[in-house]
Structure 1
Amino acid sequence: MSEPGLQEDLSAQAELWAAATPAPRAHHLGHRERLRSRAAVGGIEALPDYELLELYLFRSIPRGDVKPLAKALLTRFGSLAALLGASVAELRTVKGVGEAVALDLKLLHHATLRVGRESVAKRTVITSWSQLLAYVKVALAHEPREQFRVLFLDKKNQLIADETMNHGTVDHAPVYPREVMRRALELSASAVILVHNHPSGDPTPSSADVEMTRQIVEAARALRISVHDHLVVGRDGVASFKALGLL
């Protein structure tokens, strides 16, 4: 047989072998179906955070392996709560997160906030303290800048409004007692709960926090408006002025 003919026969044989040999399966093929099945059988609550995040990312990224992205997001931000609290710009610093994925994650965050707000708004706040603490932690624990917020309550201690009175820097959010009281009068509020966050993570009230609270309490007393508490929110927990004997 001539050399060219031999080469043709070998090429044809190689093509036959290639056709008969199944292509190697990518690691992620079938993983989505297996994860969905585990969630259906064992319950979504049993999944670790990275797999819960994977399930959510399936909707944002219809094809491909999203496990590395889920783990990269959790590694970058440290927890699911911190991840959801991150800004769109911060989310996009993670390789693989485009505008659509970042927006979907922020939608999840804001949906969580609205659910928390409903649980507070539909109950008497003072007797739903656990729901209140859960709500303020989701809203503020991972904010990169200080925020000062006020929960305005009616005579039944039900929520009228939750409003941000000021944004600040990483360690200071100036607030003016007269502005808090002006807004309380506009809303016909009978009481308020003051809330602000410490981006450092430590919720321990500072001397400035104590002095500012004293000024607001004095202004409120003159208008017969109660200050039920001042909550300081950090990644390490929530400090209550009332529980600490500071109010």
Structure 2
Amino acid sequence: MLASCSVHKSLVVLTTNDTHSQVLPGDDGTGGYARRLGIIDTVRANNKCVVLVDDGDFSQGTIFFNFFKGDVEVLGMNTMKYDAVTLGNHEFDNGLDSLAKHLSKAKFPIVCANYDVKGTALEGLVKPYVIIKRGGLKIGIFGLGISPVNLIADYNFKGITWHNPEETANAVAEKLKKQAKCDVVICISHLGVAESAKFSDWTIAKNSHYIDLICSGHSHLVINKQVPNADGKPVQIIQAGKTGAQIGRVDMVFRK
């Protein structure tokens, strides 16, 4: 993937989604935290500029979440040194107080631009976006969360306001690209790619102006596709299956 910027600068984006508390490898030997960390460390050792993100639903699905309520997942992601993480619907399964308790132990930013968490237990723990300076690049990363309707119990989402993700994405991406002068804008999204959905990562990409890459979650699919945005420019969408069996990778080269 090519973008307009300074010559001879490159960025590797690694992304995971819907890992669902799979701390140990699956029955087929794939996935697991130790194997994931080994792959991440290898990529970092061989590339100067690497960003690691997660697109939500890192919780729920195994005995580790049932017993430890999310602490194992957060501590594991701390060890892997994630740069930014967004929230999936399953992060809310045990309610806001439980979620806030284990997110308070995170050493990585939690970003979700279209969830207004003011006045809730998540206030101060979740921010709209983060800007990372690495390898001579300014990288803007923002998150998008799925509508809670029919996915998150009302009492587990109480006090949070869900905003239109398309309007939010365009506003935040423009701010990052035009005002903050980011070289690249990455959206980490848990909207999914369902064709029938009013809002999906497809619609976000097609109606965007300043997003370069969407790291997608929720749909449990393997996707690597470019979609033209509202100005006819390509937006890369990538999704890496489920349970951590795969890690998504996008190599970006910046040149004039």
* TM-score, normalised with respect to structure 2: 0.34
> Which has more strand, going by share of residues?
2
Larger RCO (CA under 8 A, 6+ residues apart):
2
Instruction: From the CA coordinates, give the structure whose radius of gyration is larger.
Output: 1
> Which has more helix, going by share of residues?
1
